[in-house]
Amino acid sequence: MDKPVPVLNQSSSQSLSRFILLLMTAAIAATAANLYYNQPILPLIGHEFHLTDSQLGSIPALTQFGYAFALLFLSPLGDSIARRRLIGILSCLLVAACVFAAISPSLPILLLSVFLIGVSANITQQLIPFAASMVSPENKGATLGTLMMGLTIGILLSRTLSGFVGEQFGWRSVFVMSAALAAIFGVLLRVFLPTNTPQTTLRYFPLIKSSLSLFIKHKSLQKFTLAGAFWFASFNVLWATLAIYVSDAPFNYNAQQAGLFGVIALAGVIGAKSSGKWVNKLGSKTLVMIALALAATGFAITGLFAGNLVSLIVGIILIDFAVFSAQVANQVRVFSIDPAAQSRINGIYMLGYYTGGALGSMAGVKAFALYQWPGVVVVSIVFIIISAIFNSFAKK
């Protein structure tokens, strides 16, 4: 029988059942994947449009900036509009944006399309606080661990799936596939998601203003956000450059082979799931510090043994395990700040997180263009050190 997860408040018409949690997790995986589909197929896009490395770097960067834009201007709406309705609108936008990407005749149109894909992928950041608002504090870590497992699978397998589809059928087919998945999950979420009562009656502009006020008010939110932004920047330095790195000697991999690194990185799933349990034992601050140390070690291994496949695999496993462990630990403490403003607080936090990701993508591609893989490693470790500094000032 479908057993409900303990509920914190009656913000919805029904409890967070196992089925709803599974549906949310799968939808998060499918939606988050849109932010990373373009990375393994960058060489294919570059070949068709005759792009430089810097121009290629603008494609994942614009996707991340679109996501960051939505976190600031759309995420707060989850506190004032029924989330099922908002998710339905975003699903329609995602389908349309993917279709436009698939038929893009030039780089400017493609950049606009991937920006809108990033905007509409805000679905993930409506589902996560929605689920968090429906469970008790003692179950929050486990619930977020499950949701982040979906996010991890979406982020990592997106590259494998995209690389395979792109290599076999062309890069445009990746966006056609994405549009179909968005349509399917849009219908399922519309049918099965419970309705919730909005937490505030604020109008749009006061709502946005209140989001910024929350960031100013809560010093802890500032530290959590900056710590997350810099470790996610290091993560995107890696993944924005990996396909380009392994497409050259000594690897000489095609897009499909490059995408297979996403399977290796599924260690992040273990990190996301296990950290939901460990955060209650070690505390978020300690767990984040341990994770950052592992990530730095992973980058160092790939740099010390550059050009070696085994070291690259080991490094990716450590990096992804660490980043997703840190993310769950960080979000547990973020959601504990103000339960009545979870969408706004989560939006501000994730805005910083994905802004860091966008900057990491651009910095990574630039570092690779100038200094090849050693430059990528150095920039990544610097970002991790900055993240550790901000985390050290957090109280918990």
Among the ranges 41-55, 93-107, 197-211, which has the highest mean pLDDT value?
93-107
Instruction: Report the range of poorest mean pLDDT among 80-84, 265-269, 334-338.
Output: 265-269
User: Which range is least confidently modeled, 231-240, 269-278, 328-337?
Assistant: 269-278
pLDDT attached to residue 129: 85
Region of poorest pLDDT, from 44-58, 129-143, 168-182, 212-226: 129-143
Q: Which of 20-24, 258-262, 350-354 has the lowest mean pLDDT?
A: 258-262
Q: For residue range 97-118, list pLDDT tens digits in order.
A: 999 999 999 999 999 999 999 9
Average pLDDT (269-288) is: 77
Under the banding of pLDDT at 50, 70 and 90, the label for residue 7 is: very low
Tell me what pLDDT residue 173 has: 97
Q: Is the dihedral of CA 188, 269, 243, 231 positive or negative?
A: positive
Across the range 209-225, mean pLDDT stands at: 90
**Does the structure show a pLDDT above 50 at 318?**
yes
- At residue 204, the pLDDT reads 86
State the pLDDT at residue 268: 66
pLDDT of residue 9: 44
Could you give the CA distance from residue 105 to residue 12 in angstroms, rounded to a whole number? 44
pLDDT above 60: residue 10? no
Q: How confident is the model at residue 15 (pLDDT cuts 50, 70, 90)?
A: low
Burial degree of 339 (CB within 10 A; 0-12, 13-18, 19+): middle
Check residue 209 and give its pLDDT.
86
Cα distance between residue 83 and residue 197, in whole Å? 9
Per-position b or e across 106-135, b if 16+ CB within 10 A of its CB: ebeebbbbbbbbbbbbbbbbbbbbbbbbbb
Q: Looking at residues 155-170, what average pLDDT do you find?
A: 87
| Higher per-residue pLDDT: 42 or 293 | 293
DSSP-derived secondary structure for 318-339: HHHHHHHHHHHHHHHHHHTS-G
Q: What are the pLDDT digits (tens) for 362-380?
A: 899 899 989 999 999 999 9
Assess whether pLDDT exceeds 70 at residue 226.
yes
The pLDDT mean for the chain works out to: 87
Taking the domains of the chain in order of start, what are their residue ranges? 17-392
| CA–CA gap between residue 227 and residue 389 (Å, rounded) | 8
CATH tag for 17-392 (out of 1.50.10.10, 3.40.50.1000, 1.20.1250.20, 3.40.50.720)? 1.20.1250.20
Average pLDDT over residues 334-345: 82
Statement: residue 254 has pLDDT above 90:
no
Model confidence at 4: pLDDT above 50:
no
DSSP 3-37: PEEPPSS--BSS-EEHHHHHHHHHHHHHHHGGGTT
Scanning the structure block, which residue is given the tokens 């592992």? 294
d(CA 79, CA 183): 25
- Whether pLDDT at 160 is above 60: yes
Reply yes or no on whether the pLDDT at 6 is more than 80: no
Judge whether residue 199 has pLDDT over 80: no
Give the global pTM.
Answer: 0.75
pLDDT at 341 exceeding the cut of 90? no
pLDDT, tens digit, 9 for 90 and up, residues 118-132: 999 999 989 988 887
pLDDT for 208 equals: 86
